[in-house]
Amino acid sequence: MIKDYKNQKWVIESKSSLLDIKLKDVWAYRDLLFLLVNRDFISFYKQTVLGPMWFFIQPLLTTIIFTVIFGKIAKISTDGLPAPLFYMAGITAWNYFSDCLLKTSTVFRDNAGLFGKVYFPRLIMPLSIVISNLVRFGVQMLLFIITISIYTIIETDFSFTWAIFLFPYIVILMAALGLGSGMIISAMTTKYRDLAFLVSFGVQLLMYATPVIFPLSETIAKYPEYSWIIELNPMSAMIESFRYGFLGSGSFSWLSLLYSSVVTFIILIFGIVIFNKVEKDFVDTI
């Protein structure tokens, strides 16, 4: 179903292209998009004592645990950076990607009742998840900047680099990768319910194949035979570029970033295609 905006009529069509993401419909329903973002934000922290403070608590506690276990006990290299800064950079970037992926991966199952009752562009639902997670990411970035400021005061040897200007692009890449991957998984879970139980576990394992708790340079130097596995992960270049931009340390490479961009684009397009295909009749199977 599409809307004839010129004549203000609804036109019913039997078929539509798999790549037709109905951007005009999405724009027409932008108020619904903002309502869903507000709903996600309020419902997630409703009836919690600390509320939005959890935005700060979760990355802060994770950083402390990583610093103690991987920095002090395991003594894993942090590329010459203070351990809290190194881990917080990786955690902040990784959290945004993983949240987008995990929440988008259950969008059909979680909203089956709503999808079956009223028409609206289905793409609005995963988009609302990406945008609401962006609010959380912004708050965690504030914590990261505050931590950087504290270490700057005590004159730690690190500095911003020109790559910091790539920050908006890296955020878009992380959002697109999480969105595309999540839509693929969500479409598959309409028929294969067991996949939903593997997603969260798989994302946790994937983090250890991403330079969140270790620098990519150390992997390349010490374990060259396994480093290709890390480099094939599109999130690796994003996190390394993020860390390089804000802290001046990391294995930045234009080729790696280009590779991540191409893989992300392919996954996003494939995610849109399979999402559009499944959303037409998923209510009958979920």
Q: What is the pLDDT of residues 146-166, one digit of tens each?
A: 999 888 887 677 778 888 999
Assign 258 a pLDDT band (cuts: 50, 70, 90): very high
How far apart are alpha carbons 154 and 149 in whole angstroms? 9
**Residue 123 resides in a domain:** yes
Strand partners, 4: 9
Long-range interactions of 225-232: CB distance < 8 A, separation 24+: 231/256
CA atoms of 85 and 105, how far apart (whole Å): 30
Confidence class for position 9, pLDDT limits 50, 70, 90: low
Query: Among residues of the chain, what percentage have pLDDT more than 90?
Result: 29
Residue at 52 is within a domain: yes
Flag whether 218 is in a domain. yes
pLDDT at 137: 92
pLDDT number for residue 2: 47
How far is 227 from 231, CA to CA, in rounded Å?
Answer: 6
Mean pLDDT within 33-39: 80
pLDDT at 20: 59
- Tell me if 13 is assigned to some domain: no
- Residues of the chain by 3-state class (helix, strand, coil), percent to 5: 70, 0, 25
Domain count, the chain: 1
Residue type, 222: K
pLDDT of residue 17: 57
| Separation between Cα atoms, residue 208 and residue 15, nearest integer Å | 43
Q: Does residue 70 or residue 117 have the better pLDDT? A: 70
Residue 4 belongs to some domain of the structure: no
Bridge partners for 10 per DSSP: 3
* Residues 27, 31, 33: CA angle, nearest 5 degrees: 75
Least confident range from 110-114, 121-125, 137-141, 170-174: namely 110-114
Q: How confident is the model at residue 14 (pLDDT cuts 50, 70, 90)?
A: very low
**Residue 152 within a domain:** yes
Say whether pLDDT at 27 is over 70.
Answer: yes
Is the model's pLDDT at 10 over the cut of 90? no
**What is the number of alpha carbons within 13 Å of residue 27 lying toward its C-beta?**
5
Residue 10 DSSP SS3: strand
- What is the DSSP secondary structure assignment for residue 152, as one 8-state letter? H
Task: Note whether residue 201 is domain-resident.
Answer: yes
* C-alpha radius of gyration, the chain, whole number: 21
**Stretch among 35-44, 73-82, 158-167, 196-205 having the lowest mean pLDDT:** 35-44
Query: How many Å apart are CA 266 and CA 206, to the nearest integer?
Result: 19
The mean pLDDT of 29-39, rounded to a whole number, is 79
pLDDT in tens, 111-134: 666 766 677 777 888 888 898 888
Amino acid, res. 81: L
Supply the pLDDT for residue 228. 84
Q: Is the pLDDT of residue 286 over 60?
A: no
For residue 151, the model assigns a pLDDT of: 86
Query: Could you tell me the residue range of the domain that residue 109 belongs to?
Result: 21-284
- The backbone region for 225, taken as left when phi is positive above 0, alpha when psi lies in -120 to 50, beta otherwise, is alpha
CB contact set of 241 (below 8 Å; sequence gap of 6+): 163, 166, 170, 250, 252, 257
**8 Å CB contact between 236 and 256:** yes
pTM of the model: 0.84
Give the tens place of pLDDT for each residue, 78-109: 888 889 999 999 999 999 999 999 888 888 77
Q: Is position 12 within any domain?
A: no
Q: 3-state DSSP call for residue 124?
A: helix
Q: How confident is the model at residue 226 (pLDDT cuts 50, 70, 90)?
A: confident
From 153, 78, 121, 66, select the one nearest 275 (Cα to Cα): 121
* Predicted confidence (pLDDT) at residue 197 exceeds the cutoff of 90: no
Which of the residue ranges 61-75, 141-155, 255-269 has the most confident prediction, judged by mean pLDDT?
A: 255-269
Q: Is 236 a residue whose pLDDT tops 90? A: yes
The pLDDT confidence band at residue 238, using thresholds 50, 70 and 90, is very high
